[in-house]
Amino acid sequence: MNTGARAAAFDPQPVLEGPRLLLRPLREADRAGLAAAASDPQIWAGHPATGRWQPEVFGPYFDMLLGHGESLAVVDKDEGRIIGTSRFYMTADDPGAPCIGYTFLARAYWGGGWNFEMKSLMFAHAFRRSDVIWLHIDPTNIRSQTATGRLGAVHTHDAMLDFGSGPGLRQCWKVTRPAWALVLAERA
């Protein structure tokens, strides 16, 4: 499949359902729920946007997520509440290959396989269209780097990328279909 066809055919806002999670398109009505999930300063302590827990910082961030039309609300099915977000997007450094980022989960959902379930759903969707998925991480975000490595992704290079708020240095992590298959086999 050529790169242009891959990009045109990819749905960045699918509805994905797992045993505990529902991922669905983010909508304006999710503002308060996602703000509540993001309101813990410790979520953002290792992130470059350390103040994102504050309403005046979170508001423009939510507007950006909603405006791109690629973001997903992450919902705990048992609780029926939003616990975080993630996003599919494309970048110029590998046109047509899906990227996953802008991800956070409320701290109550750190550990216990929640991130793995979310990424499993997203990877399954992305691997329908591409053999490669990219994740871009700020060089100071050690927690995300560690979690991404556990998913079979490899840090391939650093690049200056602009995701809408100006260019910034990002680590570029790539996960391939075979690497993901190994992770799934190890967990089976």
Domain ranges of the chain: 3-187
Specify the CATH number of the domain 3-187. 3.40.630.30
Q: pLDDT tens digits, residue range 74-125?
A: 999 999 999 999 999 988 778 889 999 999 999 999 989 999 999 999 999 9
DSSP secondary structure string for all residues of the chain: --HHHHHHH--SS--EE-SSEEEEE--GGGHHHHHHHH--GGGGTTSS-TTTTSHHHHHHHHHHHHHHT-EEEEEETTTTEEEEEEEEE--TTSTTS-EEEEEEE-GGGSSTTHHHHHHHHHHHHHTTT-SEEEEEE-TT-HHHHHHHHTTT-EEEEEEEEESSS-EEEEEEEEEEHHHHHHHHHHH-
Q: What global pTM score does this model have?
A: 0.92
pLDDT digits (tens, 9 = 90+) for 1-39: 334 444 447 899 999 999 999 999 999 999 999 999 999
pLDDT over 90 percentage in the chain = 77
Q: In the prediction, which pLDDT does 173 show?
A: 97
Question: Model confidence over 148-175: pLDDT tens digits?
Answer: 999 999 999 999 987 666 788 999 999 9
